[in-house]
Amino acid sequence: MPPSRLKALNVIGLNSGTSMDGIDAALFRISPDNGCTVTNPRLKIEMLASDLYEFEPAFQKRLKSLIAKGQASLNETCRLNVAIAEVFAQAVHQLLKKSKLSTADVDLIGSHGQTIWHAPEYKDFWGVPTRATMQLGDSSVIAARTGLPVISDFRVKDMAYGGQGAPLVAFADEVLFGHDSVASGILNLGGIANITIINAGKATMAFDTGPGNMIMDQAAKVFFNSECDFNGAFAARGKINEAFLNELMQHPYFKLKPPKTTGREDFGKPYTDSLISRIEKEKITPEDALATLTALTAKSIAQSYQDFIAPQVRIKRLILGGGGAENATLKSMLLKYFPDKIELHKHEDFGISTKFKEALLFAILAYTTHFGIANNVPSCTGASRKVSLGTICCP
């Protein structure tokens, strides 16, 4: 497809993450920027509207329970695929209604759907080696309800080519931040912290460094009955317990070479419960505990950089996203532990809403697949080649 064919489109990105809080829905004007080519896509992004569509509480509860159980009747799985799609379509209509737009203002939808299972490790299944992932939210239903073409099933396609189906965000990071000569890290501080390293002309790297806010959030809840450590205020009043921090830094995940991913299975409630027991037993003050756990996130990121990134590329700036980007104590610790002098930025400095970055990712994937542009990042997912992710469903 010649780049001259590329043109501006209004694309809605839809996503419901593993937290199942609701559906991120956002409409973007995506257009080719100066110097954009199909092999080096450079896009201008303007967010026209955004909305979080909350699941009905009963629906959300049953969804979480079904996924936690990991079991369903075929009738449930089959109907859930349609039910999620109906709700995704409602999210589109709510987004448009709130922003006084209509489907006539939209060209395309990119929908991630809802992951109900993700099994990236190869295993024999009934005599067939498989790796697999499943996102529900049938694209036919979304297309029928909105009258818009829908591109979906991005992860399964990367897996079909031998990739892990993740991280997909590396492509958005390349498109958004990969076009000047400054080697950059894009650090998402969600529950888990993940980093993408963009180094113009060299292969992009991306992996989970370890905990983001997950441990801090639970500790803030237990010690201060607070939803999180807003702006790092509790941690700022404490002192890092160096002995305890050094011990925590021995977690085997930090030694694993990328590509690697982690989650609640490594750093979730059971792990944090054990840390809290230790903190209480050793009479570490709540403030010192928060300072130490904040340092754990910062130091594990800096250590990952030192061990796995710096030998190949030294970055000049770190572009922060996720809730942790609002944590001043965490940011100062990042600067302290980082072996190189770096500038800290936020996504918003580049006109990108970190809150709707996942929605933007799926809008960018839909836009690029629509124009036949390959949009997985094999150096990050392990896929055997670049390919346009997703399947296309016309209304």
What is the full DSSP assignment across 138-206?
-HHHHHHHHSS-EEE-HHHHHHHTT--S---HHHHHHHHHTTSS--EEEEEESSEEEEEEE-TTS--EE
Question: Minimal distance in Å, beta carbon 377 to a copy of itself?
Answer: 17
Selected range binding a copy of itself among 61-69, 216-224, 233-241, 341-349, rule: CB under 8 A: 61-69
Please, which residue, 62 or 355, has the CB nearer to a copy of itself? 62
Quote the CA–CA distance of 324 and 331 in Å, as a whole number: 8
Q: Which residues of 29-51 are buried (b: 16+ CB within 10 A; e: fewer)?
A: bbbbeeebebeebebebebbbbb
Question: Minimal distance in Å, beta carbon 51 to a copy of itself?
Answer: 19
Q: Which of 42, 44, 62, 314 touches a copy of itself by CB under 8 A?
A: 62
- Contact flag: residue 112 with a copy of itself (CB under 8 A): no
- Contact flag: residue 134 with a copy of itself (CB under 8 A): yes
Please, which residue, 159 or 295, has the CB nearer to a copy of itself? 159
- Contact flag: residue 263 with a copy of itself (CB under 8 A): no
Please, which residue, 198 or 364, has the CB nearer to a copy of itself? 364
Residue given tokens 């130091």 in the structure block: 299
Selected range binding a copy of itself among 133-141, 243-251, 308-316, 349-357, rule: CB under 8 A: 133-141
Question: Minimal distance in Å, beta carbon 166 to a copy of itself?
Answer: 15
Quote the CA–CA distance of 376 and 168 in Å, as a whole number: 6
Q: How many Cα atoms sit within 13 Å of 247 on the Cβ side?
A: 9
- Contact flag: residue 79 with a copy of itself (CB under 8 A): yes
Long-range CB pairs of 32-35 (<8 Å, 24+ gap) are 32/3, 32/6, 32/7, 32/8, 33/179, 35/179
Which amino acid is present at 183?
A
Please, which residue, 356 or 371, has the CB nearer to a copy of itself? 371
Quote the CA–CA distance of 329 and 324 in Å, as a whole number: 10
Residues 345-374 touching a copy of itself, rule: CB under 8 A, are: 372
Please, which residue, 152 or 303, has the CB nearer to a copy of itself? 152
Sequence length of the chain is 395
Rounded to 5 degrees, φ, ψ at 203 are -65, 135
The gap from C-alpha 368 to its chain's centroid, in whole angstroms, comes to 19
Tokens describing residue 126: 């009934």
- Contact flag: residue 287 with a copy of itself (CB under 8 A): no
Question: Minimal distance in Å, beta carbon 368 to a copy of itself?
Answer: 13
Q: Which of 9, 38, 72, 249 touches a copy of itself by CB under 8 A?
A: 72
CA angle 123/126/128 to nearest 5° reads 55
The answer to whether 296 and 328 are in contact (CB under 8 A) is no
Q: Which of 157, 179, 331, 370 touches a copy of itself by CB under 8 A?
A: 157
Among 82, 153, 168, CA closest to 364: 168
Q: Which of 143, 195, 214, 216 touches a copy of itself by CB under 8 A?
A: 143
Please, which residue, 136 or 276, has the CB nearer to a copy of itself? 136
Selected range binding a copy of itself among 6-14, 85-93, 169-177, 225-233, rule: CB under 8 A: 85-93
Q: Which of 6, 12, 83, 148 touches a copy of itself by CB under 8 A?
A: 83
- Contact flag: residue 128 with a copy of itself (CB under 8 A): yes
- Contact flag: residue 121 with a copy of itself (CB under 8 A): no
Selected range binding a copy of itself among 21-29, 158-166, 216-224, 271-279, rule: CB under 8 A: 158-166
Write the Ramachandran bin of 100: left for phi over 0, alpha for psi from -120 to 50, otherwise beta.
left
Rounded to 5 degrees, φ, ψ at 37 are -130, 165
Among 374, 384, 390, CA closest to 170: 374
Q: Where does this chain bind a copy of itself (CB under 8 A)?
A: 56, 58-59, 62-63, 67, 70-83, 85-87, 116-117, 119, 123, 125-134, 138-141, 143-145, 153, 156-157, 159-161, 372, 387-388, 391-395
